[in-house]
Amino acid sequence: MSALQTPVRPDEKSFVSNGRETAPAHRPAGTIEARPAGFWSDLWSVALRSLRALPREPELLIPSLIFPVFFFAVNIGTLQDFAQRGIPGLDYRAFQLPTAIIFAVTGVSRAHAVVTDIQSGYFDRLLMSPVRRLPLVLGMMAADFAQIIILSVPVILLGLLVGVRFETGLLGLLLFLLISGFWGLAFTGFSYAMALKTASAGMVNTTFMLFLPFVFLTTATLPLEALTGWMATIARFNPMTYLLAGLRSLLYGGWQPALLMQAAGAILLVGVVSIGLALAALRGRVTHG
């Protein structure tokens, strides 16, 4: 067997001479040994694997569009005239578009693929490879971001078709798309935390239930000033209230940096909690299996 074909045992140690690592004394010079790839290479490999799976799983993308489109159409059809009579100057179609976007992008993730990998043993094989641990989750989140952007585009196009316009122009539209994407990305941490902790597809699906109180106890259907009592109090402490306000500011009212900063703060708050839980679950999975 030639030097290039000779396997390298993991317990064999090299030595350093003149600042350079050389082959072990009992191994031929020029032996090729496996080396870990860089962080970004690992991240790209995991993300690319996830992206390649998207066209093969239309059953995951299509339902994510049906509900927000249905919600948008029903709310406009039933509440538009009532809301605009009660609140002069309100464009209810523009008011509802951010809510539809939030329904489209929240809870979208590849966490179910993590469950499949764990149950099949593939995840354990990855842990035995030189791949770094963080890209195992962050790479999938990168693919999620692309998936979320793809889901946002049809909803925005629907809004444009029914007459919604961005007073902030093309730049505002692009920022609207990015804010939506980062919100969806921030929320994915809950799904990955559940997947890594339980390895149960059923438990991953329940994470969407975390979203429902967020959206209905906020300004999803009416402006904050139209809410009263305990509903108004909860909405003021709900991060999604500030996310929706930031998105709506891009549609009407012109550039409002304060509202955009509050939206960014809401995304950061949810992201720190959810992604922190996901990384803690990953650490537990790596440590205890």
Task: Provide CB contacts within 8 A for 124, sequence distance 6+.
Answer: 118, 289
pLDDT over 70 at 182, yes or no: yes
Question: Which residues does residue 16 pair with via DSSP β-bridges, in sequence order?
Answer: 21
Instruction: Report d(CA 241, CA 222) in Å as an integer.
Output: 11
Instruction: Report d(CA 144, CA 122) in Å as an integer.
Output: 20
**Residue pair 75/84 in contact by the 8 Å Cβ criterion:** no
How many degrees, rounded to 5, is the angle at CA 265 between CA 262 and CA 266? 90
What pLDDT, on the 0 to 100 scale, is given for residue 15?
37
Q: Which residue has better confidence, 9 or 93?
A: 93
Looking at residue 106, the DSSP 8-state letter turns out to be T
pLDDT over 80 at 267, yes or no: yes
Percent of the chain with pLDDT over 70: 85
What pLDDT, on the 0 to 100 scale, is given for residue 34?
53
In this structure, the number of other CB atoms found within 10 A of the CB of residue 171 comes to: 11
In this structure, the number of other CB atoms found within 10 A of the CB of residue 157 comes to: 9
Banded model confidence at residue 172, pLDDT cuts 50, 70, 90? very high
What pLDDT, on the 0 to 100 scale, is given for residue 258?
94
Radius of gyration, CA atoms only, the chain: 24
**Termini Cα distance of the chain:** 37
Instruction: Report d(CA 284, CA 100) in Å as an integer.
Output: 36
The rounded Cα 25 to chain-centroid distance in angstroms is 49
Least confident residue range of 61-75, 148-162, 240-254: 61-75
Average pLDDT over residues 141-145: 89
Cα dist from 185 to 15, 71, 138, 236, whole Å: 45, 22, 10, 23
Highest mean pLDDT among 18-32, 181-195, 215-229: 181-195
Average pLDDT over residues 172-186: 93
What pLDDT, on the 0 to 100 scale, is given for residue 268?
96
pLDDT over 50 at 4, yes or no: no
